[in-house]
Amino acid sequence: MSESQRSVSLAEHSSTRIELEHDDERYIQEITNQHADDQTQPPLSVTPTTQKRNMYYLQSYGHVGVVQLPSDIRIQINPKIEETQLLRMLNYVKTDDPLPHLADKITLEGGNEFLDIIGYIFAEELEMVLTRGVEKGYVSERDVTTHIRGKLDISRQLQTPRENQFHVEYETLTRDTRINQLILYATDILRKMVIGSDLSRRLNTLHTRFKRNVTSVRFHPDQLDTIVLDSTNGYYQTAVELSKQIVRSIYYDGLNPGEVTAFGFLINMNELFEEFVTNLLSDAYPEKTIVKEHNSLFEPHEGLIKPDLVIRDGTQLHLVGDVKYKQYESNSRGAPNNDYYQVIAYSDVYGSDAFLIYPGEDPVETKTVKNSNKQISLVPLEVSALSNEEFISDAQTTLQDKLLRIVG
């Protein structure tokens, strides 16, 4: 990050005023439009103000992380929970998480930007890879030689036959593999994005060391699925998964193919909270089956509904519910009507009681649906109140205590 770079900080689900250039507004609008296509809430949106030209209201929603705009403005969206808690949640929800055991590897201080935390872990992993040795792998090479090496490329040989010249294809053992090229590319991006000067110098040094044996190659997110590890390079896992996450986060301007003009390393807190709660319930109730299901509100198959959680005890349906990353007001109205209607529809279709889990510190509240014996329970889980030292076990115990009368 350059000294002249402007930084704007705001919390998730908050707004601020900001002066933007046209390309900045276009970039944020493009993000908004992409999410409109898949009917999900965007990380950010902008609305022009009436006070001044190029002045906008910037609104954040359910994502946290960093967005760097084309004009070099950096937007930091801060979580409502501590960074250590966020990292522990990330580590818990995915077995192939790009940030395994993060909270055990780093001592966080107040004011750290999330991308610098990622940069610190990435540097640690890359140094470990360099210490253990940059892996070699076989890559296919094509050449025209005066003697046959490897195997003859018959198709090319027939197309351009020349005396004493052979079109050959052979395998070479090299450190210039696709995996190493990916890590080098991610290092190049990350070293320009972090804020801390010491971290930036550290990543620059690592980039120089890695580049000695590896060619600089740009990657597109569509290419990442072809890059896989095997039993010989398992120590690369964190570095590779983080590299993939970094590449998925960059933005390419169509006018300048391949040039990184903006960057966003963002975490969808709605999805994270839902996965977190699902994993907690699965671990807390191993004897029960907890799944997502699709069902129909109307016969034969109309009015699709998608409850976040369907809990079965063997073959018998037990409960159905939703997980919402929303802050509900602590009053008699409880959740918004739309959320109530949604879980009531689940309850009616599945013929069971239903629940709604959300971030909050209120006591569990159970309501009985009118003209029905079905009950809807509001179950708050306040992540920020959990112990850092025993974060997962504390979360499981807290949720179990609140669900005791509901799940059994």
**How far apart (Å, rounded) are the C-alpha atoms in residues 196 and 199?**
5
Task: Report if residue 111 sits inside a domain.
Answer: no
**How far apart (Å, rounded) are the C-alpha atoms in residues 371 and 213?**
73
Domain that holds residue 12: 1-79+249-267
Q: 207-263: per-residue pLDDT in tens?
A: 999 999 899 988 888 888 888 888 888 888 888 988 988 887 775 444 344 455 677
Under the banding of pLDDT at 50, 70 and 90, the label for residue 203 is very high
Q: What's the confidence (pLDDT) of residue 296?
A: 62
Task: Report if residue 121 sits inside a domain.
Answer: no
One domain for residues 257 and 310: no
Q: What's the confidence (pLDDT) of residue 170?
A: 60
One domain for residues 330 and 359: yes
Q: What's the confidence (pLDDT) of residue 97?
A: 45
Task: Give the least confident one: 22-31, 66-75, 156-165, 228-237.
Answer: 156-165
Q: 114-132 and 178-191 are packed helices; what angle lies between their axes, rounded to 10 degrees? A: 140
**How far apart (Å, rounded) are the C-alpha atoms in residues 67 and 116?**
13
Q: What's the confidence (pLDDT) of residue 349?
A: 83
Average pLDDT in the chain? 79
Task: Report if residue 259 sits inside a domain.
Answer: yes
One domain for residues 290 and 395: yes
**How many separate domains does the chain show?**
3
Q: 105-128: per-residue pLDDT in tens?
A: 444 443 457 788 888 889 988 999
Q: What's the confidence (pLDDT) of residue 6?
A: 81
Residue 66 CA: distances (Å) to CA of 78, 113, 164, 249, 265: 9, 8, 58, 10, 5
One domain for residues 301 and 391: yes
One domain for residues 312 and 389: yes
Q: Which residue has the higher pLDDT, 174 or 358?
A: 358
Task: Report if residue 204 sits inside a domain.
Answer: no
Domain boundary among 174, 198, 220: 174
pLDDT higher than threshold 70 for residue 143: no
One domain for residues 355 and 395: yes
One domain for residues 253 and 296: no
Under the banding of pLDDT at 50, 70 and 90, the label for residue 202 is very high
Q: What's the confidence (pLDDT) of residue 234?
A: 84
Contact (Cβ atoms closer than 8 angstroms) between residue 269 and residue 67: no
Task: Report if residue 109 sits inside a domain.
Answer: no
Q: What's the confidence (pLDDT) of residue 303?
A: 64
One domain for residues 295 and 365: yes
Q: What's the confidence (pLDDT) of residue 333?
A: 53
DSSP string, 84-141: HHHHHHHHHH-TT-SSTTHHHH----TT--HHHHHHHHHHHHHHHHHHH----EEEEE
Q: What are phi and psi of 3, to 5 degrees?
A: -65, -25
Domain boundary among 147, 174, 201: 174
Average of per-residue pLDDT across 366-370: 84
Domain boundary among 122, 146, 174: 174
Task: Report if residue 238 sits inside a domain.
Answer: no
One domain for residues 151 and 253: no
Under the banding of pLDDT at 50, 70 and 90, the label for residue 168 is low
Q: Which residue has the higher pLDDT, 171 or 308?
A: 308
In angstroms, the first-to-last Cα distance of the chain is 53
Which residues have a Cβ under 8 Å from the Cβ of 219 and sit 6 or more positions away?
181, 182, 185, 247
One domain for residues 150 and 254: no
One domain for residues 260 and 331: no
Task: Report if residue 101 sits inside a domain.
Answer: no
Percent of the chain with pLDDT over 70: 79
Kindly report the number of other CB atoms within 10 A of residue 202's CB atom.
20
Q: What's the confidence (pLDDT) of residue 89?
A: 84
Q: What's the confidence (pLDDT) of residue 208?
A: 95
One domain for residues 302 and 393: yes
Task: Report if residue 17 sits inside a domain.
Answer: yes
